[in-house]
Amino acid sequence: MNIDEAKQIITCESDYERKIVVRNIILIIILIIVIVGLVIKYAMPQLKDYISGFGSDENLNSQGFGAYYKFIVPVILLLALINPIKNLIAIKNRRKHIEKVFGFLSEGSECQIHGNHTKYLTIIALAKIKFSLNPVHYLEIGINSKNYALPLPENYVPDVVRVFSNANTAYFQEVISELYNDSEIKENYKTDLKPLNEFQSFAQNEFATEIAQMERGRRKSKNMIYLQTIIAIAFVGGFVYLSSTGTSLFTNSNQLMFIIGGFLLFTLILGYGFKFYHQKTASAGGNYLDFKKAILSRLVAFVNPKFHYIEKTYIGIDELNHSNLFEDKNYSLSGGDQIIGHYNGVAFQSCNLTISYRPNFSNEKTPDDVVFSGNYFVARFPKKFNGNIIIHPKKGFFGSLKSNDIADYLKTTGDKIRLEDPEFQKQFEVYCDDQILARYILTPAFMERLKEINVRNKGEVYISINESNIVIATNRTNAISRGGSGIDMLYVKINMELLDDIYTELTEQLTVIDTLKLNDNIWRN
């Protein structure tokens, strides 16, 4: 995808958003007219009597409220239009914002990816049942000190983010074609993985000052949040305590409003002070939110300068479905830390991925099922064959309880295969339509290596081998995924030990290619 294609996709989704919002406003206006007409025709006498009685109530009139009762119905009708009108104002400026964003991008402005979310443009509430319709997905970005929300289909988010991140999309497509379309491998350079002590020397010289500044900024930001929280709890707690003891705090409501207003003003000033301090710290090089962008990209380049690291992107739904690991459903994907490249002649991609799913007719307050959360690694399988081998780890009762909802969504296509390795049978279940193929691929040496990988990852490794690649999905958190959002990053200690963990994890992931001998000529015979 290029920048023009990204603009076209976002513009088309903006047109769809406009049609839905305009339609909703028209429907609401028609509904209001119908309701008012029915009231005038069938309920006006009763309504007049009710309002007359309500307005003549001595208690209400004594409080000066009786004069306002006539405005109740118009206010209710206006409230019904507030949300649609807000949406209309937003989409009125949407096209202008789209043009502005892509103008900045064409000029070379740097874009920050803040996140993405889904909003339902049509919500119909019937008693306790709520129907949420017409979802639109938004990509939240920052560019030239301003924030924008751009509508686009959810399955296009990773591709558009790559464009906005100024990633090498041509190289990305080259690797993807080698992984999924059996294209000829063009890169065959060798990667010599450096030992940890050599990386530590490099990191000390390259990152020590930045790491220290970021950690100071993170600690101070966290302490400011703690301070604000303590002040708020102390105010509310003190107010509740004095009220419970029967102490007369205020002689009239004006004093109460004065105290509450003063507290809100104080917290507002404190919040702006925190924001100003954060901006000052960031400009001095201590912005802990830039950890991955500033540090992790250079760490990956140390492993191999030809690898590409893209902070906010992950695999797409088509690539997920290609693995055949999970049942075909309308999943929501999120993640980041995508790394693509060639390791000793083998094309690969890796990312941290979270797969979630919302079952039909679920309660609004029920959270989505977490199907998978961990690292998703794909490498080119050197042997071309027809078929699919799926390998799941076996778990005991308590192991299943500690896991997420992955067991409910795994695909078990094919026959269950029993292999001759008893230890392998204890660790895994294997599914394949072709017994001969399964035994041909899963040689004793290959099974031994899979067991080692599974033990190292606490029995959370899910594997799919098909005609073009091997997928190794590790359903557990990892060092690279830490600090996936601004709030998460606030509680991640930034030090050299964190870099050691990330480097070790990345190199171990790459050595899977060596361990499984995916670059060995035995597969090409």
Contacts of residue 232, Cβ cutoff 8 Å, sequence gap at least 6: 267
492 within domain boundaries: no
427/332 same-domain check: yes
381/421 same-domain check: yes
Q: Which tops the pLDDT comparison, 161 or 224?
A: 161
Where residue 272 falls among pLDDT bands split at 50, 70, 90?
Answer: low
pLDDT tens digit string along 190-232?
788 889 999 999 999 988 888 888 888 888 878 877 777 787 7
445 within domain boundaries: yes
pLDDT at 462 over 90: yes
Which residues span the domain enclosing 426?
A: 172-191+304-478
179/123 same-domain check: no
CA 433 – CA 414 distance, rounded (Å): 4
pLDDT at 519 over 90: no
Torsion of CA 288, 292, 295, 300, to 10 degrees: 170
**Where among 127, 150, 166 does a domain terminate?**
166
Type of residue at 158:
P
119/184 same-domain check: no
Q: What angle do helix axes 94-106 and 72-92 make, rounded to 10 degrees?
A: 30
26/109 same-domain check: yes
Contacts of residue 374, Cβ cutoff 8 Å, sequence gap at least 6: 352, 353, 460, 473, 474, 475, 476, 477, 478, 481
Q: Which residue has the tokens 């998703």?
A: 376
239 within domain boundaries: no
> What is the mean predicted confidence (pLDDT) over 366-378?
88
Please give the share of the chain, as a percent, with pLDDT higher than 90: 15
317/430 same-domain check: yes
463/316 same-domain check: yes
37/179 same-domain check: no
97 within domain boundaries: yes
Cβ atoms within 10 Å of 501's Cβ, excluding its own? 14
260 within domain boundaries: no
83 within domain boundaries: yes
pLDDT at 285 over 80: no
508 within domain boundaries: no
pLDDT at 351 over 90: yes
Contacts of residue 25, Cβ cutoff 8 Å, sequence gap at least 6: 81, 84, 85, 88
160/179 same-domain check: no
Residue 202 has a pLDDT of 92
Cβ atoms within 10 Å of 486's Cβ, excluding its own? 12
270 within domain boundaries: no
pLDDT tens digit string along 402-439?
677 898 899 887 888 888 888 988 999 999 888 888 88
104/122 same-domain check: yes
Give CA separation, 221 vs 153, 246, 271, 405, in Å. 35, 38, 11, 35
Residue 375 has a pLDDT of 92
Q: How many domains does the chain have?
A: 2
**Where among 458, 478, 498 does a domain terminate?**
478
